[in-house]
Structure 1
């Protein structure tokens, strides 16, 4: 299974967000290549705990690559090669693929010599013994996905049957901007593309609200901890937020997030209006 940062364990776990370890870090990056009939995954990781690293080096613990596609598969990382080869017929990276690295105990492990734990555990770490096959840590989640037409976040349609001049519709893949007629798109005015940013901003705001409803708990989404969304439009928004370093989105900060991911759309709209006023 894929673990999120809010997973609970009865003993200290090494993650990127754990409070159990001092300077807790378990960061994963993954190289992907195609060689013959195989996909080759090359995980690279950064572990902050010397204690955990020593367990791996002494073969008391091992690294497991979890690849979640249509189902979930587990691959032990070879100490020498550190490359996981998966036949192409067993996986399709065109489907959403989620990857995580786990540290698993190969034998019972005592934490009595674990000097990397925070002070809370100092007086009773001698009594902590993690059983064989237990998880000692898990990394961040890497998502691989190939989306059809990923840049096409918006569609525009003319629909004379609209009751009003403009409507927004969210499909499973795009934000649809619907106009009663093309005049509302400023087609006969210079800089009409930037003038349409007012509509784009409204559509983006509606889509982000829907993203929060679909993926949040208590109307809050922690971008780094959620799994890749099911809905393709939500996937596009998720990737856009990740690329702009958005960490959290909620119904309270919709405007802030839209401004961050919107690539200065309001500024462009404002400049286009000023240009018309100045005769440009």
Structure 2
């Protein structure tokens, strides 16, 4: 079962869209490839904010279950979040709408007496809270794949055009935000941490795409995402799913930069860290 909205549980559950934990972020993202027989998934992000959940993981008291919901449902236990996960193509069709989520399952009875991540409401009685073996401890955000996508999890693409009249051009394609460079050197490909150095370009591209999103779907310079039907344009649909996965409820001219920070998990902070690493190394 995929949990997309608030669900009622008799105990506090760890999830980004449930406010029972002070540190409640559980975010995943994936790359997808394929060979002749399999779809191949690999996590590019697996972020758990709760120290209590991390401790349970270290003590082997919980396990992670990857759930893929398409025409047919498929799930597997995750022995490592660093490994590739192969799903036979005869068990999964990306021609249909596909939802992906990770659940946290208790491997034994877990008492919440030592859970310091819960909101103060539970302080008086959290020692009475016990999740039984095989019970649901938490769940991640939902990733949405559309069979219409050629590259379902890719929002940005890059290419070089030496005939550009400017050094960089940002184009909004049918499915990706395309970063076009006059010179390949502008991509820092020969340097370590090149992806971090590319983040200002990513920021500019996301700004342009979000302003276009507001123009396409907004009224009075804002979009209420909760009430917006899924866009037909594939790039807009990817951006819409990304914002909803990151719990963005409204996009407006005034909060574009805040939304970028939220959906990118502090892009500018990551860029600043990359630059500081170069500075500390004397590069």
Q: What interval of TM-score do these two structures reach, taking the shorter chain for normalisation? A: 0.5 to 0.7
| Structure 1 position 15 matched with structure 2 position 15 | yes
Q: What is the rounded CA distance, in whole Å, between the counterparts of 2:149 and 2:104 in structure 1?
A: 35
Q: Which residue of 1 aligns with 2:107?
A: 106
Shift of 1:248: 3.5
Q: What is the rounded CA distance, in whole Å, between the counterparts of 1:88 and 1:238 in structure 2?
A: 24
Q: Which residue of 2 aligns with 1:45?
A: 46
Q: Which of 206, 222, 226 pairs up with 1:222?
A: 226
Q: What is the rounded CA distance, in whole Å, between the counterparts of 1:148 and 1:52 in structure 2?
A: 34
The RMSD of aligned alpha carbons is 3.6
Relative distance call for 1:91 and 1:125 in structure 2 (3 A) is same
Q: Which residue of 2 aligns with 1:162?
A: none
Aligned length: 189
Q: Which residue of 2 aligns with 1:274?
A: none
* Misfit runs of 4+, over 6 Å: 243-246
The TM-score with structure 2 as length reference comes to 0.56
Relative distance call for 1:121 and 1:244 in structure 2 (3 A) is closer
Q: Which runs of 5+ in 1 are unaligned?
A: 153-200, 210-219, 261-280
Q: Which residue of 2 aligns with 1:139?
A: 140
Q: What is the rounded CA distance, in whole Å, between the counterparts of 1:63 and 1:117 in structure 2?
A: 21
Deviations along 1:19-73, whole A, 9 cap, x unmatched?
A: 2111311011112222442112123311111111121222211000010110222
Q: What is the rounded CA distance, in whole Å, between the counterparts of 1:115 and 1:100 in structure 2?
A: 25
1:222 counterpart SS class: helix
If you compute each CA radius of gyration, which structure gives the higher value, 1 or 2? 1
> Does the 8 A contact of 1:111 with 1:126 survive in 2?
yes
Relative distance call for 1:221 and 1:244 in structure 2 (3 A) is closer
> Does the 8 A contact of 1:42 with 1:84 survive in 2?
yes
Q: Which residue of 1 aligns with 2:174?
A: 151
The TM-score with structure 1 as length reference comes to 0.57
| Structure 1 position 65 matched with structure 2 position 88 | no
